[in-house]
Structure 1
Amino acid sequence: MPFDLDEKFIVEAESVLTGSLPDSYRLAMMQSNGGELEVNDEGWEQYPILDKTDRKRLSRSCNNIITETESCKVFGCFPENAVAIASNGCGDQLVLLKEDNVYLEPVYLWCHETGDLTLVANKFSELARL
């Protein structure tokens, strides 16, 4: 069960990612850090943002957007300017793309087999949260 998230942890993540996250994503994560999404009638497990409030929240957020993005980089075709925000459990990722020092609002599906990016939402708030 996802918890709410203090904005200071989003700021910490943005510092590590060297880019500010989109407003719709930030607001959604402050309300519910993690959880499930539905994209194209398929369930996606959303990665949380690292929350160091207490041991319980820390353990629930250890597979966060930063660690999961680093894991994805072992695939040769993962975009250098992307942050992984969710997985379908089969290797594909939902990602946000960075331009300069800003992650843009559109959410893309990244296919781990081909490296293709497909637009799935113009902003995070358009996605169905389960």
Structure 2
Amino acid sequence: MPFNLSEEQLAQTEEELGAKLPHEYREAMKLDNGGEASTEEDDWEFYPIKDTSDRERLSSTCNHIINETESCKGFGNFPEEAVAIASNGLGDQMIFIKESEHFLKGVFLWLHETGELQELAATFNEIEKL
């Protein structure tokens, strides 16, 4: 079950990533750290943002966006400046692309078999969380 997320925990993850996450995504994760969505392309499960505030939250966020991004890099064609935020369970990822000290607002689909990128939404709020 997803938990809410504090600004402090979000800031720690952004520091590790070296960039600020999009505002709409940050606000959604503060209310419900994780969750699901459905798009025309697929059904998605959002990775949580790491929460070290207590043992239960740490345990429930072990598959956080930084760990999952590192796993995706094992495919060899994962974009260098991307962070994985959700999976369709088949290897494809919903990602943000980092540019300088922030992540772009657009949400992209990364196809793990080909490395192809497709824009899913111009902003995170266009993706309806379930």
- State whether TM-score is above 0.5: yes
Paired position in structure 2 for 1:112: 112
Tell me the TM-score normalized by structure 1.
Answer: 0.97
1:41 shift after superposition: 5.4
How far apart are residue 42 of structure 1 and its match?
2.2
The answer for unaligned runs of 5 or more in structure 2 is none
The whole-number CA distance in structure 1 between the counterparts of 2:113 and 2:2 is: 30
Which residue number corresponds to residue 5 of structure 1?
5
Consecutive unaligned residues in structure 1, runs of 5 or more: none
Runs of 4+ in 1 over 6 A off after TM superposition: none
Residues 17-76 of structure 1 deviation map (CA, whole Å, 9 limit, x = unaligned): 001101001000001000101121521110000011211111110000000000001111
Structure 1 counterpart SS, 2:24: helix
RMSD: 0.8
1:40-79 alignment to 2 at 5 Å? Answer: 40=40, 42-79=42-79
Q: Which amino acid aligns with 1:55?
A: R
Distance 1:49 1:88 in 2: 17
Percent of residue pairs identical: 53
* Residue number in structure 1 paired with 2:16: 16
Where does residue 93 of structure 2 map in the other structure?
93
Q: How many residues align?
A: 130
